[in-house]
Amino acid sequence: MKRADDMTYEAGFIRNRRGHALFYAEHAPANASPSIPRCLICAPLLEEHNAARGVLVNLARALAASGVRVMRFDYTGHGDSEGHTSTIGLGEWCDDVEDVAWWWQSRTRKLAAASPMRVIGCRAGALLAAMAARTVGADRLTAWCPVIDGRTYLRDLLRLTLLVAPPAAKAERTTRDALEGRLALGESVNVFGWEIGPSFYRSVVTASFARLVEQAPCPVEIFDTGATGRLPPELTALERHAGVTVHSVAGSTFWIEGARTDLQQEALVGATVEAVAADAA
């Protein structure tokens, strides 16, 4: 294993607008010049946040090794950050993206005007990245395996919940429709240890990555590992918009703990590092 003497790593906590401590980690080349490009990474949500963490750390390290300053952080109620997920939804997490971006820009004020910032969003993080792109002044938006349709994403979460439910819960023969009904009525549902409530439900169920891409203030680059074996047609259809490119890349569903653990995702990380380098050139 190589020690990263040529890179710096700084981690700590900042306060978001609601007073919650948010964990952040900045990866940068040692002795970085002011004009190097910057990347802000928006992780997935809920348990996908945990599973994907190692991959996003490796992405940040690879970008830093290629000369990019990178900011990662944990949303409210995720990772090492304070707060809980039961009362919040996409709007509050989009606020977190903004708060971190503005804090990062203010602490590197002399750098902010000089260097472009790409926002990279993974899975539901791609929704948040797209929602925040305009207000944080993103020059580029990159989406990794984006959540395309919020309701489908929600239904998949509920299906997994039922699969791993303990015997007593399974004996109740709860269905996805019943769980969704509870959310619609304002109740909370436990999804693999994460309490989600009506704010999450209302904001996710109507979320559309396509609609966000249409309104994106900057070029959008989408990388998908083809978890279903091929690029979803909803993604390829987005290429009709100017400034949107879609790439199929080898990889796995790394946001779910599976039979094989690959935190390196060499092809996906490599393609992203190349794209950032191409921009900088």
257-265 contacts at long range (C-beta below 8 A, 24 or more positions apart) = 257/51, 263/54, 263/55, 263/57, 263/58, 264/55, 264/58, 265/55, 265/58, 265/59, 265/225
Contact 25, 11 (CB under 8 A): yes
Tokens in use for 28? Answer: 């940068």
CA pair distance 254, 267, nearest whole angstrom = 13
215 is a contact residue toward other proteins (CB under 8 A):
no
Decide: is 258 part of the binding site for other proteins (CB under 8 A). yes
Are 147 and 127 in contact by the 8 Å Cβ rule? The answer is: yes
Contact 34, 115 (CB under 8 A): yes
Which run of H or of E encompasses 128? helix 124-136
With beta carbons less than 8 A apart as the criterion, state whether 130 and 120 touch. Answer: no
Take residue 112 and report the two structure tokens written for it. Answer: 């902010």
Q: Is 279 in the site for other proteins (CB under 8 A)?
A: no
175 binds other proteins (CB under 8 A): no
- When the beta carbons of 163 and 242 are compared against other proteins, the nearer one is 163
Residue 19 binds other proteins (CB under 8 A): no
Q: How far is the CB of 35 from other proteins (least distance, A)?
A: 28
> At closest approach, how far in Å is the CB of 237 from other proteins?
33
Give the nearer residue to other proteins in terms of CB position, either 76 or 105.
Answer: 76
- Considering only residues 38, 53, 69, 140, which one is a binding residue for other proteins as defined by CB under 8 A? 53
Q: SS3 of 12, please?
A: strand
Alpha-carbon distance of 264 to 56, in angstroms, equals 9
Residues 191-210 that bind other proteins (CB under 8 A): 192-195
- Site track for other proteins across 81-100, x = CB under 8 A: -x------------------
- Residue of 29, 37, 45, 47 interacting with other proteins (CB under 8 A): 47
Closer CB to other proteins, residue 41 or residue 130?
A: 41
CB of 250 to other proteins, least distance (A): 13
Residue 264 sits in the site that holds other proteins (CB under 8 A): yes
Q: What x-and-dash track marks residues 60-79 binding other proteins by CB under 8 A?
A: -----------------xxx
Task: Name the site residues for other proteins (rule: CB under 8 A).
Answer: 1, 3-4, 11-13, 21, 23, 25, 47, 50, 53-54, 57-58, 77-80, 82, 164-168, 190, 192-195, 257-264
